């Protein structure tokens, strides 16, 4: 396919462009907010066309799909314009600033017969797919609890709007809690029902939260504990799944790279769990391309993105009010 990039972002540069090219996709154009930024990005990445005009990019009939990685508040308008232009859409999370906008984007794509996917990359990793397989096969029995710890130290290069601009969708909850919500849904196959939470600015956030902790109830009775932060340089990340017949300990797997380790503990003892070391962004691009070809589904659908946003919004509201929140997923999610 021929792609247009909407947003000259770090994730596009460091991950998505290499993944697209590895998956034999063509990047035809990039759009950014200023012509200079677009031109510099295109030159550095070897992209033929640069523009600051979204209509210019979308007006190219040879472009079949767009990847949206602009700041969060721009996603809705850019996605709706892309769908109106007949383009398939792969959008960064969170999909939008509100559940209504996110749902409208997905419904519009469905109505137009287009593929709309959320770039929830963690569900493309070999480690998370191995953990899901262990749970589904009953190796740990009935799942009792899931602990997600995703407290990291935000790199200097990303310390812009994520730390200072609530209007652009800044804060650790829209940035990382949405990931953990998708991980829980992917591993457990069910949606959080209610959440309690706390949040704070613990050193980097200026007008937005930079740390959050929450507990979620699941329909099955499984309890989920989630911790996200931008301020923890040495915490490490990972997850634990505990069941009636065993536990899974995964360290270093909440990352953009195919790294980390998994250990299964049962009455029989401890055993390392092997997993595929494929590059997760390539997996996501390949599954998206297959979906466009009518041969499968994207790794994370638009409705998956709506659901993860719903959980994140409920977490932020629970933290803001100090009251338990029921997660509302909206129509169609």
pLDDT digits (tens, 9 = 90+) for 250-275: 999 999 999 999 999 999 999 999 99
Q: Given this model, what pLDDT does residue 18 score?
A: 98
**SS3 per-residue string spanning 89-148:** EEECCCCCCCHHHHHHHHHHHHHHCCCEEECCHHHHCHHHHHHHHHHHCCCCCCEEEEEE
Residue 231 is given by DSSP the state B
Q: What is the pTM of this model?
A: 0.95
For residue 332, the model assigns a pLDDT of 61
Percent of all residues in the chain with a pLDDT value above 90, rounded to a whole number:
93
SS3 28: strand
Angle between helices 75-84 and 99-112 (to 10 degrees): 10
Say if residue 19's pLDDT is above 80: yes
Place of tokens 């049962």: 266
Separation between Cα atoms, residue 294 and residue 270, nearest integer Å? 42
Answer for the pair 320, 182: CB distance below 8 angstroms, yes or no. no
Q: How far is it, in rounded angstroms, from Cα 323 to Cα 201?
A: 19
Confidence of residue 161 (pLDDT cuts 50, 70, 90): confident
Mean pLDDT of the chain: 96
Closest alpha carbon to 101 in 86, 70, 71, 79? 79
20 φ, ψ to 5°? -60, -45
Question: Distance (Å, rounded) from C-alpha 231 to C-alpha 208?
Answer: 13
**CA 323: distance to chain centroid?**
26
Tokens read off for 217: 């109830």
pLDDT in tens, 104-160: 999 999 999 999 999 999 999 999 999 999 999 999 999 999 999 999 999 888 888
Q: Tokens 């590059």 sit at which residue?
A: 279
Confidence of residue 333 (pLDDT cuts 50, 70, 90): low
What tokens appear for 48 in the block?
């033929």
> Beta 88-91 vs 65-68: how paired, if at all?
parallel
Neighbouring CB atoms inside 10 A of 265's CB total 14
HSE-up of residue 329 (Cα within 13 Å, Cβ side): 17
Task: Give the β-pairing of 238-243 and 65-68.
Answer: unpaired
User: CA 29, CA 52: separation in Å to the nearest integer?
Assistant: 11
Q: Is 164 exposed, middle or buried (0-12, 13-18, 19+ CB in 10 A)?
A: middle
Check: CB of residue 179 under 8 Å from CB of residue 150: yes
Q: Which of 209, 253, 254 is nearest to 231 (CA)?
A: 209
- The Cα–Cα gap between 170 and 205 comes to 9
Segment 182-200 shows an average pLDDT of 98
């Amino acid at each position: 396919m021929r792609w247009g990039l909407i947003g000259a972002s770090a994730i596009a540069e460091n991950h998505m462009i290499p993944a697209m090219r590895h998956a034999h996709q063509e990047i035809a154009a990039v759009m950014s907010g200023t012509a200079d930024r677009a031109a510099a990005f295109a030159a550095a990445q070897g992209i033929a066309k640069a523009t600051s005009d979204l209509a210019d990019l979308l007006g190219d009939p040879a472009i079949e799909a767009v990847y949206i990685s602009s700041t969060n508040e721009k996603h809705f308008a850019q996605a709706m314009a892309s769908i109106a232009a007949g383009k398939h859409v792969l959008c960064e999370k969170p999909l939008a600033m509100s559940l209504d906008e996110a749902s409208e984007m997905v419904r519009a794509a469905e109505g137009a017969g287009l593929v709309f996917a959320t770039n929830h990359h963690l569900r493309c990793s070999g480690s998370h797919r191995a953990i899901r397989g262990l749970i589904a096969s009953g190796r740990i029995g009935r799942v009792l609890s899931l602990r997600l710890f995703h407290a990291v130290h935000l790199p200097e290069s990303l310390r812009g709007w994520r730390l200072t601009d609530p209007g652009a969708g800044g804060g650790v909850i829209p940035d990382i809690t949405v990931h953990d919500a998708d991980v829980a849904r992917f591993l457990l196959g069910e949606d959080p029902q209610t959440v309690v939470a706390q949040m704070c600015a613990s050193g980097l956030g200026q007008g937005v939260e930079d740390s959050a902790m929450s507990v979620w109830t699941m329909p099955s009775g499984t309890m989920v504990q989630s911790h996200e932060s931008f301020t923890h340089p040495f915490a490490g990340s990972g997850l634990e799944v505990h069941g009636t017949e065993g536990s899974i300990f995964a360290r270093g797997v909440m990352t953009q790279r195919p790294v980390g380790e998994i250990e299964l503990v049962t009455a029989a003892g401890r055993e390392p769990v092997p997993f595929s070391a494929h590059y997760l962004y390539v997996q996501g691009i390949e599954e998206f391309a297959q979906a466009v070809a009518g041969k499968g589904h994207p790794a994370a659908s638009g409705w998956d993105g709506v659901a993860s946003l719903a959980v994140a919004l409920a977490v932020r509201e629970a933290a803001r009010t100090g009251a338990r929140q029921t997660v509302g997923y909206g129509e169609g999610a």
